[in-house]
Structure 1
Amino acid sequence: MARIYLLMLIIGVSLTSCGSTVAPTATIAPSTTSVSQAEATATVAPTLEPTTAPIAAITAPITLSEGFAQPEGMLHNQLSDLYLVSNINGTPFGRDDNGYIAQINPDGTLNQAKWIDGASAEVELNAPKGMAIANNTLYVADLDSVRLFDAVSGEVKGTIAISGSSFLNDLVARDDGTVFVSDMGINEAFGSTGTAAIYQIDPAGNVSLAVKLADGNPNGLAMTADGTLLVCRYDTAVEIFELTADGILQPYRKASASQHDGLVVLADQSLLVSSWQTANIHQLMADGSERIIYHGPTGAPADINLDHQRKVLLMPLIMTNQVVLWPLAD
């Protein structure tokens, strides 16, 4: 998420007071309402094959401290075998066009600090957050729009405006090329804008409403092996939710903490979720048990992701302008 914690420090709001104002459960009305589209160039392209480069093992955590400015999201780009890092570079709500995407090599070295740069004349990128790749296209959540880039070259492919949204946060792609994006529905004062929702974008760039939330702040998104969308929320809810076939969010798995941000599904169907309440990453097992696998010294990692090939957790530390590559134990 575009780290709410960071902005709280700026305006002097505590995490506890923010989290306690939101009801712990969501009353959700299913909807199939279409959303108007300002511009979309997300055309279906021949799918490139993921890289088959040799996999080098990372045996100890690697922390990178140079080249980042409020890093919010990370993603393993399997087409280029590089790790992408979205950098807000300012306020999470700012339309300042200076956000950027960095590239990291899997060995933990910086490949390119500003691979995609909002400061470039041809690029508009304000406060980039979650990312996903589908049909060779990189989708980036940016305030009330989703920016599209070629996943290998970084070339601009267009913008999809999400009409009625206010704070787009995370993205995840399904195998069929459908992309989901969450709208936390908050303003700069952390008040509700009434827009909290999850949208879906089909491979042709058409936008529709997947689910509207009456309360709660949808944040991290993840996909199970069978294509079920999972959702975590940045509020007082301790549950991870699933989106049912009839468009309802219902509890899927429970955690011991709330104020969730990033969400990852592991091969054994356990979940990793970052919590700003505890500054931890919690592993939620399928049998209901739980363990802590990481404790953040300064806030929690934001939109975590995973290199499934190397079993390396990708963690952006928005509070310290660092990113961490964290090998998972077997």
Structure 2
Amino acid sequence: MNRIVLTAVIMLNAIVSFSQNLSLKWETDTLFLKPESALYNPVDKVIYISNINGDYLARDGNGFISKIDPDGKIEDLKWCTGLDNPQGLGFFRGNLYVADIDRVVRINVKESRIEKEFKIEGAQFLNDITIDKNGDIYVSDCRKNKIYRISDEVVKLWSDDPGLSTPNGLLCTDKNLFILNMGRGDVFIGDKAGKQLTLFCEGIKNCDGIVSDGKDGYFISGAWQGQIFHLNAKGEKRLVLDLGEKKIITADIEFIPEHKLLIIPTLDKTVLAYKWE
């Protein structure tokens, strides 16, 4: 009898998981200037948005970071300025870290100012950032096919594995590092200790951002075609949102488990939020 009940529960959970979909919750005002990445700060309950505001890789000082609340209200459009090409974001112990062409900048959140930069020699297009529980920062260079790590404020090359092909989105777990290969549309898992890369999923064109769904799955954006995929713990994928017909780009995403919200910067003028239910 217990086995029958257990089997039924497992099947029910599988059905519920499969039936979950994304529905539009809100869209911000059209004030953003090429918003690329989103990151939730669980301490202050705000969402940071990086704005490129110009041509890619232009050293024009036009880039900035915005703050919005979980309801989509813009709290401060130009909360922190003075960046060139701000892309991926990471948060650790009161500091926001931003990938900016060939440097990672650290922003003091309380003072909303850049207080330190980590120059990465030879880098050409730093893209995404992820930070583990120890505070080690991983950042991808999608043009040089490299991943760097900043540990104890020291920059070192973490991987230039031949399997890397335009590495973009990154996500740290306790033991591993998920890596999106935008060039080939596949997802690798890197062992943070041995740095061996293992294929986790393939067939996601233009894969850009990856976030945990708060349980044992993941969301991945297919940026230029405007798609969002959900992956289970085995790497099996399902298309859960397609904005291609509306010509909406899905860039570097964020998921807020407590609100069940997927935040999508569009690289245009708005940020979207979709409810996972």
Normalising by structure 1, report the TM-score.
Answer: 0.72
CA deviation vs aligned residue, 1:70-91 (integer Å, no higher than 9, x gap): 0000000122111110000011
Quickly say closer, same or farther: Cα 1:148–1:321, change in 2 above 3 A.
same
What SS class does the counterpart of residue 101 from structure 1 fall into? Answer: strand
Instruction: Report the Cα offset of residue 277 of structure 1.
Output: 6.0
Once residues 279 and 221 of structure 1 are traced to their aligned partners in structure 2, the CA distance between those partners, rounded to angstroms, is: 19
Q: Counterpart of 1:174?
A: 132
Return 5+ residue gaps in structure 2 as ranges.
Answer: 1-22
Q: Counterpart of 1:231?
A: 179
Matched, 1:127 2:90: no
Richer in strand (by share) = 2
Instruction: Report the Cα offset of residue 60 of structure 1.
Output: 5.0
Once superposed, which parts of structure 1, at least 4 consecutive aligned residues long, lie more than 4 Å away? Answer: none
Matched, 1:139 2:86: no
Once residues 125 and 107 of structure 2 are traced to their aligned partners in structure 1, the CA distance between those partners, rounded to angstroms, is: 20
Once residues 221 and 199 of structure 1 are traced to their aligned partners in structure 2, the CA distance between those partners, rounded to angstroms, is: 11
Quickly say closer, same or farther: Cα 1:300–1:71, change in 2 above 3 A.
same
Instruction: Report the Cα offset of residue 169 of structure 1.
Output: 0.2
State the percentage of identical aligned residues: 29
Matched, 1:317 2:275: no
Q: Counterpart of 1:290?
A: 237
Once residues 77 and 93 of structure 1 are traced to their aligned partners in structure 2, the CA distance between those partners, rounded to angstroms, is: 26
CA deviation vs aligned residue, 1:7-33 (integer Å, no higher than 9, x gap): xxxxxxxxxxxxxxxxxxxxxxxxxxx
Say whether the 8 Å CA contact 2:224–2:250 is kept in structure 1: no
Task: Calculate the aligned-residue CA RMSD, in Å.
Answer: 1.7
Once residues 154 and 26 of structure 2 are traced to their aligned partners in structure 1, the CA distance between those partners, rounded to angstroms, is: 39
Once residues 265 and 117 of structure 2 are traced to their aligned partners in structure 1, the CA distance between those partners, rounded to angstroms, is: 25
Normalising by structure 2, report the TM-score.
Answer: 0.85
Paired residues for 1:78-117 under 5 Å: 78-117=42-81
CA deviation vs aligned residue, 1:181-210 (integer Å, no higher than 9, x gap): 00001xxxxxxxxx22111111x3111111
Once residues 328 and 206 of structure 1 are traced to their aligned partners in structure 2, the CA distance between those partners, rounded to angstroms, is: 39
Residue identity matched to 1:157: E
Highest RCO, 1 vs 2 (Cα 8 Å, sep ≥ 6): 1
Quickly say closer, same or farther: Cα 1:67–1:230, change in 2 above 3 A.
same
Say whether the 8 Å CA contact 1:274–1:300 is kept in structure 2: no
